[in-house]
Amino acid sequence: MRAAGPLGRLVRVRRQTDPARPPRLEGAGKDANALILLRRTAFPDFSADEVELSDEAVTALTTWAAESGLGQRPEDVKAVTARRKLALDRLRAQGLTVRRVTLRPEWRLAIGLGNKDNAHEIGITLHGSYGWPVIPGSTLKGVTAQWVWDHIRPTTPEEIARYVRVFGAPLPEERAAGVAEQPETARGRVRFLDAFASGVPVTVTVDVLTPHVKPYYDRTADEQTAAQAPPPAEHHQPVPVRFLTVSAGRFDAALVGDTPDETEQAARWLVEAVNELGVGAKTSAGYGYLAGEEKA
């Protein structure tokens, strides 16, 4: 089965003669750019009355992703780590404060599960150039800000001012509701950079979710069709859904701030936040919790 579009000349899914073995993706090497491969390939099935996307293609794509680590080559990851270090050193030379935090998944990590920006709706956050798994800086900043608001509970003008110096303003609506005097719009003094694999590739694993009432979930996901949703019942056929996670390895997060005190405080908050709240999807099922360690 060939992919539609220009990549169809190179990439195809081959069924195995042994039905117990999953279909394989051919034409994509282990160092292929995963972002391009996932976004620019589609395997439509024209055998039915309506054109459908092949479930075999999802199996082949996710199997390739796990076996190749989403295209991470050890030598490339090492080179990118060195390049990031050089960039951070230059920021230090400009008078900025840099703090690094190593993040290790305690179990599985599902980042970007809702980013269905490809035909087969395989959701995972990948770097825009390298195509490797990353933890976006916006995610790290968001979970840290939430943890601080929930646990430190800034209420006095001085505490609110410190919060704004780190994270910026205006405050989100639900936080602003409890503040008597709203802070002026301001840029946060600490930047949270994307977290990359720390020197060596992270491990990519295929997980399986099996919703038992898929017709109900499909309808209720859209407000326009929710009223016609069939009631959830056990007679619905369970439909396994494959998705990608990071199961091992380490990520390097970097915080760049205007002052040492605020940057060091933000780094300590980040370590607490990712361990207690987790990042990404399915944290209630144990995904997304990270062990953080500050580095020099």
pLDDT in tens, 77-107: 999 999 999 999 999 999 999 999 999 999 9
Fill in the DSSP letter of residue 99. E
- In terms of domains, do 96 and 27 share one? no
If asked whether residues 15 and 156 sit together in one domain, one would say no
Burial class (CB in 10 A: 0-12, 13-18, 19+), 284: exposed
Task: Kindly state the average pLDDT of the residues 206-219.
Answer: 84
Assess if residue 59 is contained within a domain. Answer: yes
In a domain, 1, yes or no: yes
The answer to whether position 43 is within a domain reads yes
- Asked if 157 and 25 sit in the same domain, the reply is no
Highest mean pLDDT among 19-33, 36-50, 267-281: 267-281
Is the same domain home to 52 and 22?
Answer: yes
Count the helix, strand and coil residues of the chain and give each as a percent rounded to the nearest 5.
35, 20, 45
> Which residues does 245 contact at the CB level (< 8 Å), separation at least 6?
108, 109, 110, 124, 204, 205, 206, 207, 287
> At residue 296, does pLDDT exceed 80?
no
- Number of domains observed in the structure of the chain: 2
When pLDDT is averaged across residues 219-229 and rounded to a whole number, the result is 79
Same domain, 48 and 125: no
Q: With contact defined as beta carbons under 8 Å apart, do 142 and 270 qualify?
A: no
Residue 213: what pLDDT?
83
Is residue 234 a part of any domain in this protein?
no
User: Per residue in 247-270, pLDDT tens?
Assistant: 999 999 999 999 999 999 999 999
**Res. 49 pLDDT band, cuts 50 70 90:** confident
Helices (H), the chain: 34-39, 55-68, 74-93, 137-147, 157-167, 173-176, 214-220, 260-276
Asked if 11 and 58 sit in the same domain, the reply is yes
Whether 46 shows a pLDDT value over 80: the answer reads: no
Asked if pLDDT for residue 31 goes beyond 70, the answer is yes
Average pLDDT over residues 105-110: 96
Average pLDDT over residues 149-171: 90
Do 18 and 165 lie in one domain? The reply is no
Report the percent of the chain where pLDDT is more than 90: 62
Q: At what angle do helices 137-147 and 260-276 cross, to 10 degrees?
A: 90
Better pLDDT: 180 or 56 = 56
**Domain match, 54 and 121 both:** no
pLDDT of 182: 75
Once rounded to an integer, what is the mean pLDDT over residues 48-77? 91
Residue 103 exposed, middle or buried by CB count within 10 Å (0-12, 13-18, 19+): buried
Q: Is residue 31 part of a domain?
A: yes
On whether residue 221 sits in a domain, the answer given is: no
Chain-centroid distance of CA 183 in Å reads 31
Domain assignment present for residue 279? The answer is yes
Nearest to 148 by CA among 171, 131, 116, 126: 171
- Same domain as 60, residue 78: no
Average pLDDT, the chain: 91
Last residue of a domain, one of 71, 98, 129: 71
Residues 152 and 112 in one domain: yes
Confidence band of 215 (pLDDT split at 50, 70, 90): confident
Identify the pLDDT of residue 145. 96
Q: Is the CB of residue 67 less than 8 Å from the CB of residue 32?
A: no
Claim to verify: residue 32 and residue 140 sit in the same structural domain: no
Percent of the chain with pLDDT over 70: 99
The last residue of one of the domains, among 24, 40, 71, is 71
The identity of residue 185, as a single letter, is T
The reply to whether 66 and 90 lie within a common domain is no
Residue 206, pLDDT > 80, answer yes
From 23, 48, 71, give the residue that closes a domain: 71
Range of the domain at 52: 1-71
What pLDDT does residue 180 have?
67
Residue 192 domain-assigned? yes
Radius of gyration of the chain (CA): 22
**Residue 283 identity (one-letter amino acid):** T
